[in-house]
A = this chain, B = another copy of it.
């Protein structure tokens, strides 16, 4: 919408951002190098993406990733919703999540709220993907995104699995990426080289999610590959920590999906071992952290209709309290519309924090926006005119930072969030099931 929008990727060509690490909130670690979008997958991985008719549009809608290693190592994280989709339930109940070999993902249908039939449909596709790739069914993890309450067109999916299996290649990550996208305006994909003390490894990821706000419940799916050698416990530890610092810290509209899934797979083909509690583990963790944080910020930036994104940092003495306050600000439609409008309306932050922490009155909170303190101990420090003069140019940028200090010390959190625009309403009101 503004010229600066391009920093998030050229939407007209739906390409990835020109520079992957372009946000001040997820800088590139010195030992991590962006290889660009055409570098392909790490050794030991092949991928493909096809169109098999799950989407009525005929766009790509089914993808496979296969790890050809003898001993693949993996870890996965899923949505905590009380109403998980069939592919999430099946993956959690029937997969060897520490030794996954295959990812089967589709867009165009979430296979959620589909009951027993949905589980049976998912199991059929899991079995077909296992046969097509020579894996065990328990080694095939599923990821779906699309409309809730719709049944999966299983025959289309089975045809798609066969076709995708015949097209697997080291540079199939782009086709896979396209097959998992729904309303995403641009790719969220990276190919990185990571310099570890024990040698270089590759780290790649394909991610989808226009926030959690798509009309179809866009869902967050993220698949990560590396040729480093990780023990299952190391993979699980690093994925868990990095997901908490990335996908768990972003909000478009506070809506948790039925289908969120993140999977890390390690082929070990580089021969470089990331041993527990080693300098290699530290460096690999830093790279994974930077990668996932950047992908999370890109998802927020791609929230439908999004023009600007915010980061709220809350400090205080009690972790649950700072967490509650940060979520309240990030999910407040009043704060979000102010961000959209470039309005330094910090009274809305006072209101959001106070409303989320009943019974704490009077709460002596401090508020700064882009480093300018506007509120001290709950009271205005500057007139509205002074605030506007100090902040007007800052609020026209793509990224706006809010710092809130509550009483006490030692607790801190952050949440990334998108603004709320006309476009969000248009997309979500005009969609019809």
**A279 shortest CB reach to chain B, Å:** 36
Determine if B83 and A384 form an interchain contact, defined as CB atoms under 8 angstroms apart: no
Taken together as a complex, chains A and B put the C-alpha atoms of A362 and B83 apart, in Å, by: 6
Residues of B within 8 A of A217 (CB): 334, 347-348, 351
Contact in complex: B354, A82 (CB < 8 Å): yes
* B384 contacts A354, C-beta separation under 8 Å: no
Kindly state the separation between the CA atoms of A365 and B148 in the bound complex, as whole angstroms: 15
CB proximity to B under 8 Å, residues A105-160: 110, 112-118, 147-151
Q: A433 contacts B115, CB within 8 Å?
A: no
* A347-B429 CB under 8 A given contacts A354-B81, A362-B89, A422-B422: no
Chain B residues with Cβ below 8 Å from A384 are 149-150, 433
List the B residue with the shortest CB-CB distance to A253: B333
Among A338, A426, A428, residue most surrounded by chain B Cβ atoms (within 10 Å)? A428
Asked if A379 and B113 make an inter-chain contact with CB atoms under 8 angstroms apart, the answer reads yes
> This chain: how many copies in the complex?
2
Interface residues of A in 72-118 (CB under 8 A from B): 80-84, 89, 110, 112-118
B residues in contact with A354, CB < 8 Å: 81-84, 256, 258
Cβ of A352 within 8 Å of any chain B Cβ, yes or no, is: yes
B334 touches A83 (CB 8 A): no
Q: Is B332's CB under 8 angstroms from A117's CB?
A: no
Other than the given A337-B429, A420-B429, 20 more pairs (CB < 8 A) read A81-B358, A83-B361, A84-B354, A84-B362, A89-B361, A113-B379, A115-B380, A148-B347, A149-B350, A213-B333, A255-B332, A333-B420, A333-B428, A340-B425, A341-B428, A341-B429, A341-B430, A343-B433, A345-B433, A420-B425
Interface, chain A (partner B; CB < 8 A): 80-84, 89, 110, 112-118, 147-151, 213, 215, 217, 253-258, 331-334, 337-338, 340-341, 343-348, 350-363, 365, 375, 377-380, 384, 387-388, 420-422, 424-426, 428-433
CB pairs A–B below 8 angstroms (30 shown): A81-B351, A81-B361, A82-B355, A82-B358, A83-B350, A83-B378, A110-B347, A112-B350, A113-B350, A113-B378, A114-B380, A115-B377, A115-B378, A148-B351, A149-B350, A149-B375, A217-B347, A217-B351, A254-B331, A255-B355, A256-B355, A333-B333, A333-B428, A337-B425, A338-B429, A340-B429, A341-B429, A343-B431, A344-B433, A345-B431
